[in-house]
Amino acid sequence: MTTRIKALALIALVPFLSGASCTKIKAKSAFKDGIKLLLNGTALSAQLDLLQSSTVAALTPPGGLLPDTVYTVSISGVKDIAGNLMSGTFTSSFKTIDTIAPTVSSLTYTGDLIKNNILPITAVGDPDTASVDFFADGVLMFTDSTSPFAYSMPLTKEGPVTVKAVARDLAGNRNPNIPWARELSFTVVADTPPATSITSPAEGSQVSTNASVTVNVTSTDDLLAKEITLTAVMNGQTLLSQTKTSATGKTFSTTFSFTVPLTAAPGSSIVITAAAKDSGGQASAIAQRTLAVKDGTVPAIASITSPGQTAKYRPGEQNAQASVTATDNIGVTSITCTASGAATGSRTFTIEPAATTTTQTFVFPVSPSATPYQNMTVTCTAKDAAPNTSPAGTLTMQVADIVPPAVTGANRTDGETNVPAKPTISVTFSEALLASTVTGTTVTLTIEGGMPVAGSVTLTNSSKTVNFTPTQNLTKAARFRFSVGTAVTDEAGNGLTTEYAFSFTTDGTPPSVVGTSPANNATNIQARPVVSATFDEPFLASTVNAASVKLVADDGAAVAGTASLGNNGKTVSFTLSQDLVKATTYRLVLTSAVTDEIGNGQSGAPVLSFTTDDTPPAIATVTPADGAQNVALGIAVRNQPRSRAEISLALVCG
């Protein structure tokens, strides 16, 4: 156990007990080494006395006890007067009271010694320091109980100042005298006002109307440049009044922006002023710049319009017009317009007095040789007094089309014959046609001496080509008239000057043979040949069948097989179901039921005749030759030896 002892000079009293009462111990000479006062485990010199009838042992150090120190009493080997020996060792510890004041080892500050500044001061004390009192010129200003011990001292006056730091420990020991305390002396100087400068724009700079102006301002101070206020005034009109602040720093740089009014008169002055304040509220001298306003806003061509945008001007028109509107923030002084492309002309309009908005009419001629839909462009620019020139405004129009469409080609010619059963008739014109005028009424196909033919009318090729397709096959060997009437117009409304028409005659001739297989009148044809006949025009597929296409022998017997149509409808083939009889003549017959697409039928006469093979095979050559000598040995063919010599026979069939 440890007991805190207050006295510096101490008598350690140790009572001895036996049961419920104190026990007398033997004379101290018998155990003087058994009762000890220890400091850090080392026995100290102490006077031992027995008190209260030898029931209490007292230890008295000759020099007294040290303050704030732990001591231990150790007792062992003690006997009572009966000779009984105390068992074990008894120890008891105690600590003396702390009476020593702590010391401030250092006292420092950081920052500027300027009035109105807050000066950080730091004190360092002994390890047992509990708090530090800070004094300014003998007046207690602040107590800090947390390490590190610091005081933010307001510098409220100018001149010399002495700061003292006094430490206190947990026992309350405190000594305000040196060297326990520590002092710090310094001199506080006056706080000077900030300085302000406008770094840009430069004095006398020109600024344009409607332009954004950026102003750069810098303020410096010995402590804190806290705020900057900038104003911009033109002819009594405040364009900007703004304050910006800073929380730290001796230098404060910032920017301000304002817009020059669009209607500001050129030559006007804008006065910019800037002033700053520091943390003490002191204001700087005013910094100033004067700027000159110039007209930097160019005029604009707001619009160019013309009646010719909807009702196109014709070639040779002398009074084509365009209306141009120009605007400017100060005033338009002139407008210049020119015409180009299919039109010519140029004119400058002087605007007196200058106007913020003005509209002028530009009259120009269209070239007599202008072609349909040729472009003509009106270009205009405007100027103000600065002089600023506007971007060019343009209006492009097209010349009216007064030329009627003309035929440039057709896929049929007047008087053409052998026209197929269902032709598409196409006529191409020099320009696009108005679709609403191309109908079954204005485009017709009529059989000569009869009624119009039903069909569809379409426009293709960017509306330049008229197409007519009959709904059904035309009558064979008949004359037809195709016409495009004058009611057909181009997109400008110009109609054909005269009707365009031509006549043609449909096909009246049956298809003719242009080739056969086998060749016509061929002999020695194999037993199952490919039989076909190719014609100069296609057949109607539905007319080619087993009943209309026959292969017959010279005795009139029909050969079994199937008929088919190929080669784009021009080749009729007959496929045999069995071999033909040898030495027999066969004929391929197409009846009158086989027709082309318009209905021209065959005559029923044979289109092909051939005779099958009637000649037996004969030996043409023998190898080795008959009677040959010294025939070389060879290797038998077909993997089995037939003889020592290879024998070759050539059989001629037919």
Same domain, 205 and 283: yes
Beta carbons within 8 Å of 177's beta carbon, 6+ residues apart? none
**Which residues is 297 bridged to in the sheet?**
none
Q: Name the nearest CA neighbour of 442 among 466, 422, 425.
A: 466
Instruction: For residues 517 and 609, give the distance between their C-alpha atoms in angstroms, rounded to a whole number.
Output: 10
Question: Can you give the CATH number for the domain in which 308 is found?
Answer: 2.60.40.2550
Contacts of 308 (CB under 8 A, 6+ apart): 320, 321, 322, 397
Give the chain's domain count: 7
CA–CA distance, 51 with 54 (Å, rounded to integer): 5
Residue 381 exposure: Cα atoms within 13 Å on the Cβ side: 10
pLDDT tens for each residue of 181-202: 999 999 999 999 999 999 999 9
CA 398 to chain centre: 40
Residue 306, pLDDT score: 98
Of the candidates 59, 76, 96, which is a domain's last residue?
Answer: 96
Model pLDDT, residue 69: 87
Asked whether residue 308 falls in the same domain as residue 230, the answer is no
Give the model's pLDDT for residue 8: 34
Same structural domain, 206 and 234: yes
Amino acid code (one letter) for 4: R
**Domain around 590:** 513-612
Q: Edge to edge, what strands does the sheet with 251-259 contain?
A: 195-200, 212-220, 251-259
Among 130, 163, 188, the domain-final residue is 188
What's the pLDDT score for residue 23? 56
- 467 token code pair: 């197409």
pLDDT along the chain (654 residues), means of 10: 37 47 54 83 88 85 86 88 87 88 96 93 95 96 96 95 96 93 95 96 94 97 95 96 95 97 92 95 96 94 97 96 96 98 98 97 97 96 95 97 96 95 96 97 94 96 97 95 97 95 95 95 94 94 94 93 93 95 95 93 93 83 79 52 39 38
Is 305 in the same domain as 271?
no
Same domain, 204 and 290: yes
d(CA 466, CA 486): 14
Closest residue by Cα to residue 462 from 499, 421, 431, 426: 431
590 shares a domain with 524? yes
> Per DSSP, what are the bridge partners of residue 212?
259
pLDDT of residue 576: 95
Contacts of residue 424, Cβ cutoff 8 Å, sequence gap at least 6: 411, 467, 468, 469
DSSP 475: P
Establish how many alpha carbons lie within 13 A of residue 186's alpha carbon, considering only the half-sphere containing its beta carbon: 20
- The H or E element containing residue 184 is strand 182-188
| Whether 509 contacts 537, CB under 8 Å | no
For residues 310 and 323, membership in a common domain is answered with yes
Q: In the block, which residue shows the tokens 């108005």?
A: 434
The percent of residues above 70 in pLDDT, for the chain, comes to: 92
Cβ atoms within 10 Å, residue 228:
25
Task: Give all strands (DSSP E) within 390-499, no chain letters.
Answer: 393-398, 407-410, 416-419, 425-429, 443-447, 455-460, 465-470, 479-484
Last residue of a domain, one of 188, 208, 239: 188
Output the 3-class SS for 336-358. Answer: EEEEEECECCEEEEEEEEEEEEE
Q: Facing residues of 135 across strands?
A: 140, 164
Phi, psi of 543 (to 5 degrees): -95, -5
212 and 260 share one domain: yes
* CATH code of the domain covering residue 492: 2.60.40.1220
Cis peptide before 617 (omega within 30 of 0): no
Outline where DSSP puts E strands in 212-250: 212-220, 225-234, 237-245
Q: Which two tokens stand for residue 590?
A: 């197409």
Domain shared by 569 and 628, yes or no: no
CB atoms within 10 A of CB 499: 12
Report yes or no: 177 and 157 within 8 Å, Cβ to Cβ: no
**CATH classification at residue 133:** 2.60.40.10
pLDDT digits (tens, 9 = 90+) for 409-436: 999 999 999 999 999 999 999 999 999 9
354 and 306 within one domain: yes
Q: Are both 150 and 181 inside the same structural domain?
A: yes
Tell me if residue 29 falls in helix, strand or coil. Answer: helix
Q: How far apart are CA 316 and CA 631, in angstroms?
A: 107
Alpha-carbon distance of 246 to 196, in angstroms, equals: 14
CA 393, CA 302: separation in Å to the nearest integer?
Answer: 8
Residue-wise over 290-303: b if at least 16 C-beta within 10 A, else e? ebebbbbbbbbbee
Same domain, 253 and 272: yes
